[in-house]
């Protein structure tokens, strides 16, 4: 059961296509939030496609809440052949956008470097639903993937290892820990984004190792002309910094 939080607001609505849904938002936005906020067409020229990562379904938007990122929840693999954006309804507590909103909010409150969540939405049609989320945009950031592609030797390998260890200590099992979902700002501060399907768990070896292995595979896939051995050597620097931070217990 999802615990009640007085800082959030749930606003039901009906859409023009005979669907119905709800918007989960920060209570401070409750009187402003509109279903149209989650449609890039609503913003017109103020919606700009996010190309980083190549996944599609994300836009930079500017609204009354300031600069934000709008992301639709898309499906991949064989499931995408049936529908790119429809998901099986299993109850509002398991809506992907709501789960990510609450997880991101809790981490943000604890002072962990994640984008501030603003609002999330689902629209249900029978046993299927679509979902979207709005999070505050991070400015002057570059992905770890970009940093390793431009200057691999000078990329923040050790900083990334310490960043991941910090999140793992907080129990975050990131479902898609790849080089595109790790960002660094102009001051060298790191951030984790895209917590879809992530969850809090007791920190133990198995899932932590799987997170790190997924990141290493991502870096090997993105290595371009670099030898795999060079990437693994750099990743060993990341892992050493991770282990050192983990050993400190915080």
What pLDDT does 30 receive?
Answer: 77
Chain center to CA of 60: 14
What pLDDT does 227 receive?
Answer: 94
CB 132 within 8 A of CB 73: yes
What pLDDT does 4 receive?
Answer: 64
Active-site residue identified among 176, 194, 196, 234: 176
What pLDDT does 175 receive?
Answer: 96
CB atoms within 10 A of CB 38: 25
What pLDDT does 154 receive?
Answer: 86
Please report which helix (H) or strand (E) contains residue 209, including its range. helix 205-221
Report mean pLDDT in 10-residue bins for the chain, 250 residues.
Answer: 78 87 90 92 92 74 94 74 84 96 97 97 95 96 92 90 98 97 95 97 95 97 93 97 94
Residue 68, CB-side half-sphere exposure with 13 Å CA sphere: 21
CB 85 within 8 A of CB 130: yes
Tokens of 221: 């896939």
Catalytic status, residue 15: no
State the pTM of this model: 0.93
């Amino acid at each position: 059961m999802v615990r009640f939080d007085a800082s959030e607001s749930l606003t039901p609505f009906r859409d023009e296509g005979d669907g119905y849904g709800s918007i989960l938002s920060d209570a401070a936005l409750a009187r402003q939030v509109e279903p149209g906020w989650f449609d890039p067409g609503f913003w017109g020229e103020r919606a700009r496609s996010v190309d980083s990562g190549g996944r599609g379904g994300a836009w930079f938007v500017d609204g009354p809440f300031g600069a934000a990122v709008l992301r639709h929840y898309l499906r991949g693999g064989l499931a995408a052949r049936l529908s790119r954006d429809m998901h099986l309804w299993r109850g509002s507590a398991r809506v992907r956008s709501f789960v990510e909103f609450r997880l991101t909010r809790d981490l943000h409150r604890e002072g962990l470097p994640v984008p501030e969540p603003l609002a999330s939405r689902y629209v249900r049609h029978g046993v299927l639903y679509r979902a979207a989320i709005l999070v505050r945009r991070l400015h002057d950031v570059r992905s770890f993937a970009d940093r390793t592609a431009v200057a691999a030797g000078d990329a923040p390998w050790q900083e990334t290892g310490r960043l991941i260890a910090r999140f793992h200590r907080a129990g975050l099992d990131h479902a898609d820990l790849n080089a595109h979902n790790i960002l660094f700002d102009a001051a060298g501060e790191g951030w984790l984004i895209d917590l879809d399907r992530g969850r809090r768990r007791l920190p133990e070896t198995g899932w932590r190792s799987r997170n790190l292995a997924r990141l290493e595979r991502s870096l090997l896939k993105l290595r371009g002309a670099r030898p795999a051995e060079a990437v693994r050597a750099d990743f060993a620097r990341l892992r050493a910094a991770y282990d050192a931070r983990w050993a400190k217990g915080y």
